């Protein structure tokens, strides 16, 4: 009985393998055939069936065969979408753009222009990575809006641009914050100011303005004594502007502390510089006195030598 069951299992397995092999060879046979019409019908059937991998193999052959014919437009459209469905967004956006450029008067040109930009959007990485594709996506979506200002997709394109700008905004803030965290205070001040200028409506505006004050005060502290006063005064002025812009800010208390410490540091650095200048004057006076004494001794020695020679 066990032997019969084992034989039955092997038979079923063999049938499955044969059936699978037969199916595969049928597709491969069609792929290698010269019957383009049959390939076209099968490619569309596979696409509708969501078997995009097999459909792509056929469309890839067909777009070459049908180039310059009436069927080329639909094939290009299918080919772009097949790559999109397979999440090959780089290839898909190229073919969507090619379609829009080649068939500009087509009813599908607007859709393909939008999809090309949308593929860039999908390729936009997390904010911590390089944002080249994010910038390109914004440019592509804005181009779509400029080309089709009355399109129903304009609202969606505008929303996507807003999402991408949010990502760039976070990137800009994070970069500036990184300079502060690693102790590059001068670069932090510049980066915070640039970020505020690039994104005037940023949700980080209040925090970045306060962090600019903090970075400026730390930059002053790390500077040479001769440059500290001017840089501390800049931090104090920045706080005055901040208090004016955000009179109820949660950062006011910390800002007041930075202001007090900056004012105290200015007094201390002035005293230090005055002491250093006084010490330098004493040293200079001693040097001048020593030089005068040396000259006097030299003159006296010369006189004595002249008297002796007479």
Domain definitions of the chain by residue range: 183-295
pLDDT band at 15 (very low <50, low <70, confident <90, very high): low
Q: What integer pLDDT is reported at residue 279 of this predicted model?
A: 65
Query: Which range (30-39, 92-101, 156-165, 255-264) has the least confidence?
Result: 30-39
Q: What integer pLDDT is reported at residue 126 of this predicted model?
A: 86
Question: Which of the listed CATH numbers 3.40.50.2300, 1.25.40.10, 3.40.718.10, 1.10.10.10 matches domain 183-295?
Answer: 1.25.40.10
Quick check: 217 pLDDT over 50?
A: yes
Cα–Cα distance, 85 to 59 (Å, whole number): 13
Quick check: 297 pLDDT over 90?
A: no
pLDDT in tens, 266-295: 988 888 777 766 667 667 767 776 776 677
DSSP the chain: -HHHHHHHHHHHHHHHHHHHHHHHHHHHHHHHSS-HHHHHHHHHHHHHTT-HHHHHHHHHHHHHHTTTSTTHHHHHHHHHHHHHHTT-HHHHHHHHHHHHHHTTTSTTHHHHHHHHHHHHHHT---TTS--HHHHHHHHHHHHHHHH-TT-TTHHHHHHHHHHHHHHHHHHHHHHHHHHHHTT-HHHHHHHHHHHHHH-TT-TTHHHHHHHHHHHHHHHHHTS-HHHHHHHHHHHHHHHHHHHHH-TT-TTHHHHHHHHHHHHHHHHHHHHHHHHHHHHHHHHHHHHHHHHHHHHHHHHHHHHHHHHHH-
Q: What integer pLDDT is reported at residue 2 of this predicted model?
A: 43
* Rounded percentage of the chain residues whose pLDDT exceeds 70: 83
Quick check: 36 pLDDT over 80?
A: no
pLDDT in tens, 40-55: 888 899 999 999 999 9
Neighbours of 29 (CB within 10 A): 9
Q: What integer pLDDT is reported at residue 13 of this predicted model?
A: 53
Q: What integer pLDDT is reported at residue 5 of this predicted model?
A: 47
What does the pLDDT average to over 14-20?
50
Q: What integer pLDDT is reported at residue 67 of this predicted model?
A: 77
Quick check: 18 pLDDT over 50?
A: no
Quick check: 87 pLDDT over 70?
A: yes
Averaged pLDDT of the chain: 86
Q: What integer pLDDT is reported at residue 128 of this predicted model?
A: 78
């Amino acid at each position: 009985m066990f032997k019969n069951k084992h034989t039955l299992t092997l038979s079923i397995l063999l049938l499955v393998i044969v059936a699978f092999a037969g199916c595969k060879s049928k597709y491969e046979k069609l792929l290698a055939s010269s019957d383009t019409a049959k390939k076209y019908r099968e490619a569309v059937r596979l696409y509708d069936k969501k078997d995009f991998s097999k459909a792509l193999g056929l469309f890839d052959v067909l777009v070459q065969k049908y180039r310059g014919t009436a069927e080329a437009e639909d094939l290009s459209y299918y080919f772009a979408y097949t790559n999109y469905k397979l999440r090959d967004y780089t290839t898909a956006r190229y073919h969507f753009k090619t379609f829009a450029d080649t068939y500009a008067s087509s009813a599908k040109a607007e859709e393909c222009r939008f999809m090309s930009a949308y593929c860039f959007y999908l390729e936009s990485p997390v904010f911590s990575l390089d944002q080249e594709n994010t910038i390109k996506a914004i440019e592509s979506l804005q181009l779509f809006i400029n080309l089709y200002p009355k399109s129903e997709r304009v609202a969606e394109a505008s929303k996507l641009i807003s999402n991408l700008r949010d990502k760039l905004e976070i990137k800009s803030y994070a970069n500036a914050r990184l300079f502060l965290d690693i102790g590059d205070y001068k670069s932090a001040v510049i980066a915070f100011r640039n970020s505020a200028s690039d994104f005037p409506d940023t949700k980080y505006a209040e925090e970045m303005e306060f962090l600019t004050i903090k970075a400026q005060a730390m930059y002053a502290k790390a500077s040479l004594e001769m440059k500290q006063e001017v840089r501390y005064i800049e931090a104090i002025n920045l706080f005055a502007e901040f208090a004016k812009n955000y009179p109820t800010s949660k950062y006011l208390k910390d800002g007041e502390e930075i202001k007090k410490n900056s004012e105290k540091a200015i007094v201390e650095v002035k005293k230090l510089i005055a002491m250093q200048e006084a010490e330098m004057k004493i040293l200079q006076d001693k040097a001048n006195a020593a030089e005068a004494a040396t000259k006097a001794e030299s003159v006296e020695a010369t006189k004595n030598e002249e008297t002796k020679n007479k």
